[in-house]
Amino acid sequence: MSDKESEESWINPEEDRGWSQESYRNYMKRRDAEEQMIKEERLPKATDKQVGGNHYKDCKIMPIEYITKNNLDFLEGNVVKYITRHKLKGGVEDIKKVIHYAELILELKYGKEN
């Protein structure tokens, strides 16, 4: 039995709903597309959620996106992260962290001490 005969043996649109083969295929394509959209909405991307607060949710550019797109290393990324959130989360402590990470960059990358 060929693939076409096999497909026609289990799908008989004329008997079930009176559909042509083309109508059935279009329906299945549309249904698969809708199911995929539902699946994507139920399973958000990791970049669409935040664990442990909401201090980044109103950023136009999320720190993680900026950090990765600009190939920043760990120290540079932390400067971006803490300066972005200081007003909404850590305040003075986050500014101190920014300064500390900047000092680490100076020391470890440029050989300069405080």
Tell me the pLDDT tens digit for each residue of 19-38.
Answer: 677 788 888 888 887 787 77
Q: Are residues 84 and 37 in the same domain?
A: no
Query: What percent of the chain clears pLDDT 70, i.e. is strictly above it?
Result: 68
Residue 38 domain flag: yes
Q: Are residues 65 and 17 in the same domain?
A: no
How many domains in the chain?
Answer: 2
The 10 Å Cβ neighbour count of residue 32 is 10
Distance CA 26, CA 36 (A): 15
Q: Are residues 58 and 106 in the same domain?
A: yes
The domain in which residue 80 lies consists of 49-110
Residue 101 has pLDDT above 80, yes or no: yes
* ∠ Cα 88 79 47 (to 5°): 65
If you ran DSSP here, which 8-state letter would residue 54 be given? Answer: -
pTM of model > 0.85: no
Q: What is the mean pLDDT of residues 13-20?
A: 58
Residue 50 has pLDDT above 50, yes or no: yes
